[in-house]
């Protein structure tokens, strides 16, 4: 009988105050469109091979790299390299120009700074 009494006490409803605002009201600094665009870019960056590719392009003396020049330092096949470059291109992080049978890639102007700025603006602490 004691167990039944304890169980009854555990299921009593918790009183709520319906006059008080709930939690404090969350505010997003990004609308859905901006959040979606940022998520596409972050998803493209969130791969070790693609981060290596961005690093190779960024450290290139000329600012651009032939697609064939990613194979050796990254250790992946040309079809895999092409796939990763396509993902980066679709996300707007790199741009390419076809020269002969190869495509030369460069960072899209402001793309990396744009991702950093958008992410910082979205999650930065509010001023006190």
pLDDT digits (tens, 9 = 90+) for 110-124: 999 999 998 888 888
Residue 42 lies in a domain: no
Residue 9 lies in a domain: no
**Which residue's structure tokens are 């008080």?**
20
pLDDT of residue 67: 96
- DSSP codes of every residue in 47-86: SHHHHHHHHHHHH-TTSEEEGGGGHHHHT--HHHHHHHHH
**Residue 72: which domain range?**
53-116
State the pLDDT confidence band at 52, using cuts at 50, 70 and 90: very high
pTM score of the predicted model = 0.74
CA distance 45 to 68: 20
CATH number of the structural domain spanning residue 110: 1.10.10.10
Please give the radius of gyration of the chain, using alpha carbons only, rounded to the nearest integer: 25
Q: Are 95 and 108 in contact (CB under 8 A)?
A: yes
Number of domains observed in the structure of the chain: 1
């Amino acid at each position: 009988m004691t167990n039944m009494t304890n169980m009854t006490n555990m299921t009593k409803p918790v009183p709520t105050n319906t006059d008080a605002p709930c939690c404090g009201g969350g505010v997003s600094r990004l609308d859905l469109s901006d959040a979606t665009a940022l998520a596409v870019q972050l998803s493209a960056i969130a791969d070790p091979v693609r981060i290596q590719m961005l690093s190779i392009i960024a450290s290139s003396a000329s600012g651009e790299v032939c697609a064939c020049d990613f194979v050796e330092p990254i250790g992946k096949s040309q079809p895999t390299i092409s796939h990763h470059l396509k993902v980066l291109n679709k996300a707007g992080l790199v741009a390419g120009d076809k020269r002969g049978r190869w495509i030369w890639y460069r960072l899209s102007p402001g793309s990396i700074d744009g991702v950093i700025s958008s992410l910082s603006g979205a999650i930065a602490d509010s001023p006190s």
